[in-house]
């Protein structure tokens, strides 16, 4: 049976519910990217709230000029409404994610069917870059919303020619600029690409550039003028150096043209790889289907305008960073093309693909096969974790997982409706990404183990001067967010020598690979104070963490066949310790 078209908003409601499921357990940290940045915004906004200075952020009391002020205000508003917590901070991104889904649905409905619009929402929230930032207190999802708002205004302006939509486009760009600067101008670049592509220069003239830039100036200028007035050269130097000079090609070294050409070629393949990995699995259909989309938009049809607009938005994002972002590689910015990518991928997945030829026939057959193959790999991999990391009978759980897999696969394979294979894969991704409590409870998230370690240290620490340190095998970005003080990283000898009081987290991997650290840990276990820096030492906590490196051998697979949970866990997890010095 084809998916019902009777209730248009029902599909949107389903996507909303799926996104909220992904965003559940906001107090836990798991699939997020760049948690160090998350802590910077959380800490700076917390200081802003306590100091009452809502215009100039600080980080540990020092001026922080990174990015404009608007995202700080959104978190500040959430703090004032719900209290200071990670849930309140991350809820801001959840809200913008919901709004982005809504706008994506509205854009798609202007040109395509309800089915494509519904699937676009499912694909959008299952793209890794999108769902990771849905529950992260960083400005990227807010920036994404304002850019998608700009895309929506652009589509309405092209379809209706009304000036109010072009002005909304400029407002969206101005507000996006106050989130994260120049990338917010991408919708204007998309307008330029579309106008040149269609040779519709009247559209360019009707956009109202003078009024638009005046509105943007009213939004952007006041805060920047305030910062220049209060901080002077320090702020200007930061803007010109960190936000401009470091993000474009260095003009002072080498021959400019050959270096620029080399960077463009390198960036093209670099960002193509990022698009492939971080929009997977849907990026496969988008990249392979682009030639078909190019052919399709060349034909006269009702969908031609929509295809050209969406491809203009896609190209505006991709090629901006290929040609401009030459000295820094910003993976997260490619999230800005998730909306056009989701709609175009849905279009490819649901099209009947009219025409004859081996290429089209291969594309028709491969759509279903690829979706079901990726579903099979993902389902069986997650089924492995469910089987070996729950407290129920492994054999019965394994049989249940296998039975569910076969039933789902057979049902979708027998269906002739092309929407079910991508929907089945999408719902699997949604289910897996909403299981943060399962991953945290079973220490399958590195963040969960580090958060527990931080809780132990914060509960035990009575002296604010005590050093908090971590071994070299622990990423400081993944633990920094759980403390209100700076974290030191290094060898145990140095960390214990720097302060009379210290808490140091170290993993079994480091103790095995660093002989000096292993010897110090052994001396602590044996109480051999002569081999240690002066002080009293105690191992106050031991737990499990995802292994730094997986060394899977024949013993691992034998344990799988025997349903030997304890042995399987030894391959997947390793020990983590907290050593206290007084």
* In-domain check, residue 425: no
* In-domain check, residue 424: no
pLDDT of 253 above 60? no
Q: What is the mean pLDDT of residues 216-224?
A: 95
Q: What is the mean pLDDT of residues 24-44?
A: 73
Residue 130: closest CA among 94, 85, 154, 106: 94
Q: What is the mean pLDDT of residues 526-541?
A: 86
Each residue's pLDDT tens digit, 289-318: 888 889 888 888 778 999 999 999 999 988
By the 10 Å C-beta count (0-12 exposed, 13-18 middle, 19+ buried), 111 is classed as: buried
Each residue's pLDDT tens digit, 455-479: 898 888 888 788 888 887 787 777 7
Report d(CA 91, CA 453) in Å as an integer: 25
Which pair of structure tokens corresponds to residue 252? Answer: 């002072």
Structurally, how many domains does the chain consist of?
2
Same domain, 293 and 155: yes
* In-domain check, residue 389: no
**Which range marks the domain in which residue 342 is found?**
8-350
- What's the pLDDT at 370? 87
Same domain, 319 and 452: no
Report d(CA 319, CA 313) in Å as an integer: 10
Same domain, 197 and 319: yes
| Of 302, 320, 350, the domain-final residue | 350
* In-domain check, residue 400: no
| Of 350, 381, 397, the domain-final residue | 350
* In-domain check, residue 374: no
By the 10 Å C-beta count (0-12 exposed, 13-18 middle, 19+ buried), 14 is classed as: middle
Same domain, 343 and 470: no
pLDDT of 531 above 90? no
Report d(CA 141, CA 131) in Å as an integer: 10
Q: What is the mean pLDDT of residues 169-179?
A: 97
pLDDT of 1 above 50? no
Report d(CA 442, CA 60) in Å as an integer: 34
| Of 334, 350, 366, the domain-final residue | 350
179 contact partners, CB below 8 Å, separation of at least 6: 67, 68, 70, 71, 139, 142, 143, 146
Residue 192: closest CA among 202, 204, 182, 209: 204
* In-domain check, residue 388: no
For helices 394-414 and 358-388, the axis angle rounded to 10 degrees is 160
Q: What is the mean pLDDT of residues 520-524?
A: 89
* In-domain check, residue 440: no
* In-domain check, residue 564: yes
Which helix (H) or strand (E) segment holds residue 481: the answer is none
Which pair of structure tokens corresponds to residue 116? Answer: 């494509």
Lowest-confidence range among 3-12, 173-182, 387-396, 443-452? 3-12
Same domain, 457 and 346: no
- What's the pLDDT at 4? 45
Which pair of structure tokens corresponds to residue 128? Answer: 């890794």
DSSP E strands in 320-458: the ranges are none
Residue found under tokens 């729950």? 390
Same domain, 34 and 150: yes
As beta bridge partners, residue 468 has 503
């Amino acid at each position: 049976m084809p998916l019902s078209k009777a209730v248009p908003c029902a599909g949107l409601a389903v996507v909303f519910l799926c996104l909220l499921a992904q965003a559940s357990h906001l107090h836990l940290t798991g699939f997020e990217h760049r948690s160090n940045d998350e802590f910077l915004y959380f800490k700076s906004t917390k200081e802003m709230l306590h100091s009452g200075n809502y215009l100039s952020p600080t980080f540990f009391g020092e001026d922080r000029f990174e990015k404009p002020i608007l995202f700080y205000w959104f978190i500040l508003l959430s703090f004032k409404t719900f209290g200071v917590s990670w849930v309140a901070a991350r809820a801001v991104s959840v809200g913008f994610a919901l709004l982005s889904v809504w706008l994506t649905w509205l854009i798609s409905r202007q040109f395509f069917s309800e089915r494509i619009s519904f699937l676009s929402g499912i694909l959008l929230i299952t793209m890794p870059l999108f769902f990771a930032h849905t529950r992260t207190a960083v400005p990227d999802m807010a920036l994404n919303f304002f850019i998608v708002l700009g895309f929506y205004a652009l589509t309405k302006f092209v379809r209706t020619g009304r000036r109010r939509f072009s002005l909304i486009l400029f407002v969206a760009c101005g507000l996006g600029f106050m989130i994260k600067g120049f990338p917010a101008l991408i919708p204007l670049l998309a307008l330029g690409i579309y106008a040149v592509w269609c040779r519709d220069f009247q559209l360019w003239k009707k956009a109202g550039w003078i009024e638009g830039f005046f509105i943007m100036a009213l939004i952007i200028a006041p805060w920047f003028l305030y910062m220049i007035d209060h901080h002077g050269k320090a702020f200007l130097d930061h803007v010109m150096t960190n936000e401009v000079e470091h993000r474009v090609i260095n003009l002072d070294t080498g021959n400019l043209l050959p270096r620029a050409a080399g960077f463009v070629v390198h960036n093209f393949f670099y960002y193509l790889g990022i698009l492939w990995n971080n929009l997977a699995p849907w990026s496969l259909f988008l990249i392979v289907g682009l030639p078909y989309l190019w052919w399709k938009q060349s034909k006269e049809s009702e969908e031609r305008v929509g295809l050209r607009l969406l491809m203009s938005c896609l190209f505006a994002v991709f090629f901006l960073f290929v040609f401009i972002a030459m000295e820094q590689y910003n993976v997260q910015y490619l999230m800005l093309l998730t909306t056009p990518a989701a709609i175009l991928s849905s279009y490819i997945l649901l099209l009947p693909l009219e025409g004859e030829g081996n290429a089209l026939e291969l594309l028709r057959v491969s759509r279903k096969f690829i979706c079901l193959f990726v579903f099979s790999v993902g389902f069986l991999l997650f089924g492995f974790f469910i089987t070996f990391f729950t407290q129920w009978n492994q054999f019965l759980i394994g049989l249940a997982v296998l039975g569910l897999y076969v039933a789902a696969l057979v049902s979708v394979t027998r269906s002739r409706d092309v929407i079910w294979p991508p929907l089945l894969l999408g719902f699997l991704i949604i289910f897996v990404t909403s299981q943060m409590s399962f991953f945290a409870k079973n220490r399958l998230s590195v963040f969960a183990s580090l958060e527990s370690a931080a809780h132990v240290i914060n509960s035990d620490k009575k002296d604010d001067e005590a050093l908090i340190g971590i071994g070299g095998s622990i990423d400081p970005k993944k633990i920094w967010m759980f403390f209100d003080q700076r974290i030191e990283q290094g060898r145990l000898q140095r960390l214990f020598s720097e302060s009379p009081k210290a808490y140091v987290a170290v993993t079994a991997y480091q103790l095995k690979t660093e002989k000096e650290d292993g010897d110090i840990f052994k001396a602590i276990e044996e109480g051999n104070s002569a081999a240690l820096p002066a002080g009293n030492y105690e191992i106050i906590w031991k737990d499990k963490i995802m292994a730094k490196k997986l060394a899977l051998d024949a013993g691992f697979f034998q344990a799988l066949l025997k349903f030997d949970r304890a042995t399987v866990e030894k391959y997947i997890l390793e020990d983590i310790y907290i050593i206290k010095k007084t």
